[in-house]
Amino acid sequence: MTAWPRLAFGGDYNPEQWPAEVHDEDVALMRESGVNLVTLAVFSWALLEPSEGHYEFGWLDEVVTKLHSGGISIDMATATASPPPWLARRYPETLPVTEDGRTMWPGGRQAFCPSSPVYRERSLGLCRRMGERYGGHDAVVLWHVGNELGNHNAWCYCDVSAAAFRRWLERRYGDVDRLNDAWGTNFWSQRYATFDEVLPPRLAPNFANPTQQLDFRRFSSDELLDNFVAERDVLRELSPAVPVTTNFMVMGHVREMDYWRWASEVDVVSNDHYLNAHDPEGYVELAFSADWTRGLAGGQPWMLMEHSTSAVNWQHRNIAKRPGEMLRNSLQHVARGADAVLFFQWRASRAGAEKYHSGMVPHAGTDTRLWREVVELGDVLQRIREVAGAGARNDVAMVVDWQAWWGAELDSHPTQDLVYLDQAHTLYRALWERGVGVDFVRPDGDLTGYRVVLVPTLYTVTDAAAESVRRAAEEGATVLVTYFSGIVDEHDHVRLGGYPGAFRELLGVFVEEFAPLRTEEKVRLDDGTTADLWTEHLHLRGAEAVASYLDGPLPGTPAVTRHGYGRGAAWYAACRLDDDGVSALVDRLLAESGVVPVVPTRGGVEVARRTAADGRSWLFVVNHTAEPASVAVDGHDLVTDRPTDGALEVPAGGVAVVREG
């Protein structure tokens, strides 16, 4: 397959927003800053096919030629992300409809129904022409299908979607009685006589059927994946040597697509990440996202397809990045497996809804701190490029799942305040602060060899996934399960006989009732920590109590338990522990399993290691603090091009990448 440049550096390039003379300056500036890859034509459909079946590629040909002669490689989009106005005018049935029946009109972007056969036909028509025209061009090293599939239009409730949902359900269940059993439709007089009666979970007078909601999410993710696969297959036919990707959104609380299902369909995993600028320590969530993306890539390198040089335009207040922050963020991604550092977008727009979104070339031009930092980043990426291709493997696995996420946050639950990622983030933060690396694993994934396995809030769990976690403990891992895990099967039916059904035997506990706390209520534990939000009426069935409640609804009841199991152990946190409680728990898990940090550091100094197949390794240090940091490491710092002589000094806010040994 064609190779894309590594480490890749660049971003989304939207030349159609600028006159031709700017394009010459663009290529010159790209060369000056070391840009070697740009994503082209993401939102160009209206210009490439200004009326149905009438194509105009001339302007794009010119840009491709300019980039190619400048030595810049192209990640060519299929341009199908956002249909042009004529599509909706001519085929209004392609427009997406919300849960409460409102049409989403053109004028923004991505106004199409993912199940629309018209959208499918017209987008594949354009994709085919793009493949024919550019598939053999030397500059085109990657295909980029659509853009952030599922952003803005993941769920469509229109009649076209309803019919597609019914077809999907027929394939899943075969006959309507199996659907009735899976959805539990004897409840509230919901029993269906035929598939024709079934609808998407449109706005209803009371809670929708939870399994209908879950299946609708599964269907919606599959519909968009189908669109991706259809375009990918056209490209594979026309341009077999060029890998195909689409940019995922593993970030923040974006949860629409089940990327475990998507990951095996792309030739290279790529991800977009934007910091939550309101969180002064948003870089921890960045690391979480990057590690999860590496999990999707099977521990191998992946591409950071988009992040921002500075502020975005879509948060409540859009905070500019501080000096050095862009470099630190970029290196965090590389430390965690990215072989590409790309931005949205190359040149900040002059018009349109994203004109206040930062770019690599700001409105103020090149005599700016931001541009100088872009040039510096290009230079650093050049200096560290030998890390390309290296993967990462850690001793701690975290089991995460979109289906459990969807299930855990359904309405009609014991509390509306339970957030699926809450415990995942808290545990991750504790490990991040200790410099301990984490790999993200799918629920039925391979846990062999992990010394610690974390299972936060895995609400929905299949028998296969429960067995995989059990086996990990049996074979010697220290497993931690947190509250509201293992409660239901894949149909959202409660596993009976005491919670948490799927993990009861493994954990050696029996829970007779959930006991969520009142808003603001806290309970004290006998180890000096506290818990809020969630407790459980738990009995020991083989496990020992590690900590118990002193007060609250269940004084004397175990809150944290440990059960020796096989060659390992299974711990349970039945409540939402405060940060001290999580920290203490993590220390015990690490001590018991013998897991140590990548290298010891102090708070706010991030460390991560990449290791090549031939055993060479690189230690990344990102100093998020205002004080210099010193790290014990032998090797050569590629950023400063100096030997470390056993002790590396990383300046306040600085970065280092040490070839170890």
Annotated binding site for substrate: 109, 147, 314
Q: CB of 554: closest distance to ligand GLA in angstroms?
A: 45
**Beta carbon nearer to ligand GLA, 60 or 589:** 60
User: Is residue 91 close enough to count as binding ligand GLA by CB under 6 A?
Assistant: no
Mind giving me the DSSP string for 546-567?
A: EEEBSSTTSTT-EEEEEEEETT
Q: CB of 259: closest distance to ligand GLA in angstroms?
A: 15
Q: CB of 273: closest distance to ligand GLA in angstroms?
A: 9
What is the C-alpha separation between 515 and 443, in angstroms, rounded? Answer: 26
**Beta carbon nearer to ligand GLA, 231 or 272:** 272
Contacts with 258 (C-beta within 8 Å, 6 or more apart), sequence order:
217, 218, 221, 402, 403
Has 306 been annotated as catalytic? yes
Q: Pull the structure tokens for residue 75.
A: 């990640």
User: Is residue 248 close enough to count as binding ligand GLA by CB under 6 A?
Assistant: no
Beta partners for residue 648, in sequence order: 631
User: Is residue 312 close enough to count as binding ligand GLA by CB under 6 A?
Assistant: yes
Going by the annotation, the residues of the binding site are 109, 113, 147, 156, 158, 314
Cα distances (Å, whole numbers) of residue 318 to 134, 162, 293, 302: 37, 38, 25, 28
Beta partners for residue 398, in sequence order: 440, 454
**Beta carbon nearer to ligand GLA, 147 or 293:** 147
User: Is residue 319 close enough to count as binding ligand GLA by CB under 6 A?
Assistant: no
Neighbours of 21 (CB within 10 A): 8
User: Is residue 344 close enough to count as binding ligand GLA by CB under 6 A?
Assistant: yes
Going by the annotation, the residues of the binding site for Zn(2+) are 113, 156, 158
Q: CB of 12: closest distance to ligand GLA in angstroms?
A: 6
Alpha helices in 355-420 (DSSP H): 369-383, 402-408
User: Is residue 147 close enough to count as binding ligand GLA by CB under 6 A?
Assistant: yes
The amino acid that residue 116 corresponds to is: S
Query: Cα dihedral sign for 354, 273, 112, 12?
Result: positive
Has 148 been annotated as catalytic? yes
Among 9, 45, 143, 274, indicate the residue that binds ligand GLA (CB under 6 A). 274
* Site for ligand GLA, residues 524 to 583, rule: CB under 6 A: none
Contacts with 252 (C-beta within 8 Å, 6 or more apart), sequence order:
274, 276, 285, 289
Q: Pull the structure tokens for residue 255.
A: 């949860």
Closest CA to 661 of 634, 621, 630: 634
Counting residues that bind ligand GLA (by CB under 6 A) gives 9
Q: CB of 147: closest distance to ligand GLA in angstroms?
A: 5
**Three-state DSSP class for residue 271:** strand
Sheet-wide strand order for 558-565: 438-441, 396-399, 452-455, 478-482, 568-573, 558-565, 544-548
**Beta carbon nearer to ligand GLA, 75 or 272:** 272
User: Is residue 373 close enough to count as binding ligand GLA by CB under 6 A?
Assistant: no
Closest CA to 268 of 306, 304, 235: 304
User: Is residue 311 close enough to count as binding ligand GLA by CB under 6 A?
Assistant: no
Backbone angles phi, psi at 181, to 5 degrees: -65, -45
User: Is residue 306 close enough to count as binding ligand GLA by CB under 6 A?
Assistant: yes
Q: CB of 312: closest distance to ligand GLA in angstroms?
A: 5
**Beta carbon nearer to ligand GLA, 155 or 274:** 274
User: Is residue 148 close enough to count as binding ligand GLA by CB under 6 A?
Assistant: yes
Q: CB of 527: closest distance to ligand GLA in angstroms?
A: 43
**Beta carbon nearer to ligand GLA, 150 or 445:** 150
- 78 close to 145: Cβ distance less than 8 angstroms: yes
User: Is residue 357 close enough to count as binding ligand GLA by CB under 6 A?
Assistant: yes
What is the C-alpha separation between 62 and 41, in angstroms, rounded? Answer: 13
**Beta carbon nearer to ligand GLA, 149 or 400:** 149
The residue from 49, 256, 285, 306 that is catalytic is 306
User: Is residue 347 close enough to count as binding ligand GLA by CB under 6 A?
Assistant: no
Among 26, 256, 272, 291, indicate the residue that binds ligand GLA (CB under 6 A). 272
User: Is residue 640 close enough to count as binding ligand GLA by CB under 6 A?
Assistant: no
Name the site residues for ligand GLA (rule: CB under 6 A): 147-148, 272, 274, 306, 312, 344, 354, 357
Give me the active site residues, please.
Answer: 148, 306
